[in-house]
Structure 1
Amino acid sequence: MEHENYMKNSNCSLASVILLSGLKGFKTLSTFIFLLLLIIYCVTICGNLLIILVVSNSRSLHSPMYFFLTQLSLSDILLSTTIVPNMLRVVLYEGSSVSFIGCLTQFYCFSASELLQSLLLTVMSYDRYQAICNPLHYTSVMDLTFCIRAVVLFWVIISVLILINSVTMSRLQFCGPNIIDHYFCDRDPILELSCSDTFIIKVEGLFLIVPLAICPFIVIIVSYVYIVITILKIPSVTRRQKTFSTCSSHLAVVSIYYGSVTCIYLFPNQKIVNKILSVFYTVITPLLNPIIYSLSNRDINKALTSLMSKTFNIFQAGRHLNLWV
């Protein structure tokens, strides 16, 4: 009743500007947090670009698993670039303003990168399932055509579904304050500002989350159940460990991704907790992914060493050439 009276006594219109209040209560640490986030962002971009460069320049890594890894790195770059630059501004100026269209654009890119990661982690688990449980049919199933079609299909599905959700959100009316108590434009904080009925958008959200996040998680669990069963059947302990090591990096990334996202839904009303967890999966996770794959993967380490050696030799050859000239 109060909400209806408020609507009658106020001028309802589309919000042209959204204010992000950011991380309150950290004024004394704003400079430190700004520098820390800036370093993390630079390391994240460099680390993921390095993964892409190493995989692209090493023929030994031209396999489906590493192809999907490069796509995961691209999604990490998209996620970090969507969130961190504006977050730096929020921290530095203790808040930031963004146009309503800009807010929806950030929501679109953020959602696309997050859901793309979910689907990529799923197809990577399927790749491990085929490699371990059906090794004889692996090359015929996981060929280059399948990989490219899968990634293109992921992008098309995600782009269309999120676009529909974003267009519906753009038609909402905002009658109250236009301040979001967050450091980026997520769906729920935007809906909290609206005085319109958001039931349809929440239903659309289910059509996004269920097929693109929950179902993929179930597929990952089923894949690893079969993988574990197959590994336990291997008589040699050494072979078991070697086989499982091919899944360790992927399993670690899956645990971090779904662990942080699940915790968000376990504490829906805890804004401080949600902010911290959001920082983890939007800022820290893109940083950890290339580190996890580079530290625990011998093939990537070997290819990285080879690439650095070639780069050093080229540099030395160019230096000697300059000396002779």
Structure 2
Amino acid sequence: MIQNTLSFSHNYNWGNQSSQGEFILLGVSDRPQLELLLFVLILISYVMTLLGNATIIAVSRLDPRLHTPMYFFLSNLSFLDLCYTTSLGPQMLVNFRSARKSIPWAGCVAQLYVSLSLGSTECLLLAVMAYDRYAAVCQPLHYMAIMSRRLCLQMAVTVWLSGSGNALVKTLLTLRLPRCGRNQIDHFFCEVPALLKLACVDTSANMAELLASSVLLLLLPLGLILVSYGYIGAAVLRMHSAEGRRKAFNTCTSHLAVVSLFYGTAIYMYLLPPSQDRGKLVSLFYTMVTPMLNPLIYTLRNKEVHGALRRALGRNPTSQGT
């Protein structure tokens, strides 16, 4: 009991000490030219992310023709991407142009929790969107009955709460570790693997938990997505109409592209750890570039969104269908 009390006291004192301090985000501070390039690229990505995802949310809300389960979940994804990039992008932009690349302890905690929560939620949301596509292609006559408004709301609430719960556990397990005065994070933002390297105790249990949760949140949803698309592929092959095949193909390719981008980089980062420098650049890709590409991918070949944008801009040609 004495040992447990001392351990608790040690962690409690560390928490008090940390709450009054700050972290230094090293990033690529030893390469000023690369910093300037990354500042420009991230600024462009962030602005395009805001514009693209805000546009999808706006047209999905304003156009009654887009009040369907597909665009309900797409709006959730766009809102998630807006919050995700905003939780990381502005701080990175400030640090790229500052001599002292610091973040307050409370800011690091908030950044860690919010980014973990939104990243975990996106893993689950993409699996839910795959189920929605399965219902649309494989059960077209019963689609609206299967994907009822109540079920859509329940699935959305479930994925958001599950992501928040996972982030809370990871944040608490990471921040309770003593760091013995270490405060230099070799990363662009506060992330679990980088923070674990600051600990001055054995972190093997934390690494095992991180691996287990990564498998649960990455490989399991990805497996469900692949199963859904297996059924979708079989249904498409049974279609006799070329038009039906084309519509099914267009419906699913955008989601598959987003899944490939997000899961590919996330698995590379968390399940196949690369070198530190490459790991930092990969993390920039899935936190800043992927949310920018998502609205582009979903709108480039989407006639329904094109039509909604034309109507929103006041061009309502009768010859333009959805």
TM-score (norm 2): 0.87
- Corresponding position of 2:33: 28
Contact 2:23 2:184 in 1 (8 A): yes
CA distance in 2, matches of 1:65, 1:294: 13
Q: Does 1:299 align with 2:304?
A: yes
Greater CA drift, 118-127 or 164-173? 164-173
Q: Does 1:137 align with 2:142?
A: yes
Structure 1 residue 25: Cα displacement: 4.4
- Corresponding position of 1:280: 285
Please, which of 253, 257, 261 is the counterpart of residue 266 of structure 2? 261
Q: 1:231 to 1:49 in 2, by over 3 A?
A: same
Choose 1 or 2 for highest CA Rg.
1
- Corresponding position of 1:234: 239
**1:35-114 maps to which residues of 2 (within 5 A)?**
35-93=40-98, 96-114=101-119
Please, which of 308, 311, 314 is the counterpart of residue 309 of structure 1? 314
Contact 2:121 2:164 in 1 (8 A): no
Contact 1:129 1:224 in 2 (8 A): yes
CA distance in 2, matches of 1:160, 1:261: 19
The one-letter code sitting in structure 2 at the alignment partner of 1:264 is: M
Structure 1 residue runs of 4 or more that deviate by more than 4 Å after TM superposition = none
CA distance in 2, matches of 1:294, 1:303: 11
Note the residue ranges of structure 2 that are not aligned, 5 or more in a row: 1-12, 317-322
Contact 2:118 2:163 in 1 (8 A): no
CA distance in 2, matches of 1:294, 1:275: 29
RMSD (CA atoms): 2.0
Paired positions, count: 300
DSSP-derived class of the 1:19 partner: strand
Please, which of 197, 218, 232 is the counterpart of residue 223 of structure 2? 218
The one-letter code sitting in structure 2 at the alignment partner of 1:63 is: T
Q: 1:200 to 1:266 in 2, by over 3 A?
A: closer
CA distance in 2, matches of 1:153, 1:207: 20
Contact 2:236 2:248 in 1 (8 A): yes
The one-letter code sitting in structure 2 at the alignment partner of 1:105 is: A
Q: 1:303 to 1:93 in 2, by over 3 A?
A: same
DSSP-derived class of the 2:239 partner: coil
Q: Could you give the per-residue CA deviations for residues 1-59 of structure 1, whole angstroms, max 9, x where no partner exists?
A: xxxxxxxxxxx945432110012343135444323322321221121111100000011
DSSP-derived class of the 1:98 partner: strand
TM-score (norm 1): 0.86
Note the residue ranges of structure 1 that are not aligned, 5 or more in a row: 1-11, 312-325
Q: Does 1:127 align with 2:137?
A: no
Q: Could you give the per-residue CA deviations for residues 135-158 of structure 1, whole angstroms, max 9, x where no partner exists?
A: 222111101111111111112222
Q: Could you give the per-residue CA deviations for residues 63-117 of structure 1, whole angstroms, max 9, x where no partner exists?
A: 0010000000011011100111111122112551122332122111111111111
- Corresponding position of 1:192: 197
Q: Does 1:202 align with 2:207?
A: yes
CA distance in 2, matches of 1:284, 1:167: 28
Greater CA drift, 232-241 or 298-307? 232-241
Structure 1 residue 180: Cα displacement: 0.9
Contact 1:55 1:66 in 2 (8 A): yes
